Structure 1
């Protein structure tokens, strides 16, 4: 992983070298697909190894930025940040690596809080969203407002619902335990489906044979939902200010710019 302002991060994309601090140095890929921003869950241990298979799979067709928030092992320790502070860190990092909006947000678990805060603060910078096992975290003050005004409008949204108690179900046999399990399952489903209100172009993906840690155990499922979001983008959202017919001109401009930098 690279480091910028005490934040550990990785940028990968089609034919992009992970070691490069600036992914736009890769001349083989004009930014025709919105960059994917990853929002990991809670905990102070590094999330990098958990996310790496998903990052690599998704980076085959889109640029991907993964970073660890402050307080996580690979990033500098600090007092807990308000989500707005964490987003400012992210904005600074995006400027550093030169990834331009709009973005596709991919969040897991508690990471949904930060993705929803990003949507609240910068709605015009969001092209689409994938929410994997989110919704059970503490509701934010924005939840009902975002649902009421359908914050994403017609932008594509995928809500992935796994089984948070998948590993524990076989051990629950008592009547009281089974009754509690049913209530938990119903409430979990309600919270997950409530998120569909964020967009009129949303789909619900149920993965019953996987636990809460779906990013680790079923990265292909999450990656496929990123593909679905990309396939449902409006033409204006499919590029970062670069149209397909302008790709050749973009490459020529990038080559010329890099040559000037080398001379200096």
Structure 2
């Protein structure tokens, strides 16, 4: 997400690599954060050289706004349907940035039989909004104003639904490779080192929820690791694809 750095992150625009049907390797499914469409992955996709799928969620790009709930589980279900409609068969490696990390996590939990790996890219951890209101009330108040004045309808509904359904998902360690990546540069959008400390602390939840072995800080990267360090992220995705097979 473009607001307060790491707080967050359709078929009208579906981008699938030419090799998407080469099922000897998984398809990398890219899930964007709040306010971002498929183009946020352009630098990464230019280097990836793997079958991949990127899309605009409802309300982004030319995709119509959806009337369905905007919680992570509903969005994950919709993504699964879109992959099927596009003829992109499993297995999948889910890569989720910012708030999109929650959607990727929900997908891996709901469809473990189709998922062989998960990469969380400076993903918004559970409890983040509550922690921000508690520990950084001025920034939280500012974000509420920004939300009411500048967020699109789709963004507001995703923001409001971000915590729903996560507690209903299984919590046993995942039987797939999982990588949890964090930025090292403070975000220019606000919050600075204090927000980064909150993010690092809460990111421990991802380890408990997924069974990932450790948090990995990507040196020289801000919130948009896929833009700042596409080579690093590309190599990590390749490793996960190989391990998943």
| Distance 1:65-1:216 versus aligned 2 partners, 3 A rule | same
Alignment partner of 1:77 out of 52, 65, 69:
65
Superposed displacement of residue 112, structure 1: 1.3
Mind listing any 5+ residue stretches in structure 1 that lack a counterpart? 17-22, 25-29, 170-179, 239-264
Alignment partner of 2:107 out of 112, 118, 143:
118
Aligned to 1:177: none
Is the partner of 1:112 in helix, strand or coil?
A: helix
Alignment partner of 1:202 out of 192, 213, 235:
213
Mind listing any 5+ residue stretches in structure 2 that lack a counterpart? 1-9, 130-162
Larger relative contact order, structure 1 or 2 (CA cutoff 8 Å, min sep 6): 2
Alignment partner of 2:51 out of 63, 73, 80:
63
Superposed displacement of residue 196, structure 1: 1.9
| Distance 1:71-1:106 versus aligned 2 partners, 3 A rule | same
Alignment partner of 2:13 out of 8, 14, 17:
8
Aligned to 1:230: 241
Superposed displacement of residue 89, structure 1: 2.9
Q: Which structure 2 residues correspond to residues 14-33 of structure 1 after superposition, within 5 A?
A: 16=19, 23-24=20-21, 30-33=22-25
Superposed displacement of residue 125, structure 1: 1.6
Q: Output one character per residue of 1:151-202: Cα deviation in whole Å (capped at 9) or x when no partner.
A: x13x111111003624479xxxxxxxxxx85543332112223212244453
Q: Which structure 2 residues correspond to residues 95-174 of structure 1 after superposition, within 5 A?
A: 95-136=84-125, 137-138=128-129, 139-143=163-167, 146-147=170-171, 149-150=172-173, 152-153=174-175, 155-163=176-184, 165-167=186-188
For residues 16 and 225 of structure 2, the distance between their equivalents in structure 1, rounded to whole angstroms, comes to 21
Aligned residues: 200
For residues 103 and 123 of structure 1, the distance between their equivalents in structure 2, rounded to whole angstroms, comes to 10
Larger radius of gyration: 1
Is the partner of 2:13 in helix, strand or coil?
A: strand
| Distance 1:200-1:74 versus aligned 2 partners, 3 A rule | same
Q: Output one character per residue of 1:102-150: Cα deviation in whole Å (capped at 9) or x when no partner.
A: 2100000010121122123212221110000113455454359644x22
Instruction: Give the aligned CA root-mean-square deviation in angstroms.
Output: 2.7
Aligned to 1:53: 43
Deviates more, 1:214-223 or 1:192-201: 192-201
Is the partner of 2:15 in helix, strand or coil?
A: strand
Aligned to 1:92: 81
Is the partner of 2:34 in helix, strand or coil?
A: coil
For residues 129 and 108 of structure 1, the distance between their equivalents in structure 2, rounded to whole angstroms, comes to 11
| Distance 1:131-1:78 versus aligned 2 partners, 3 A rule | same
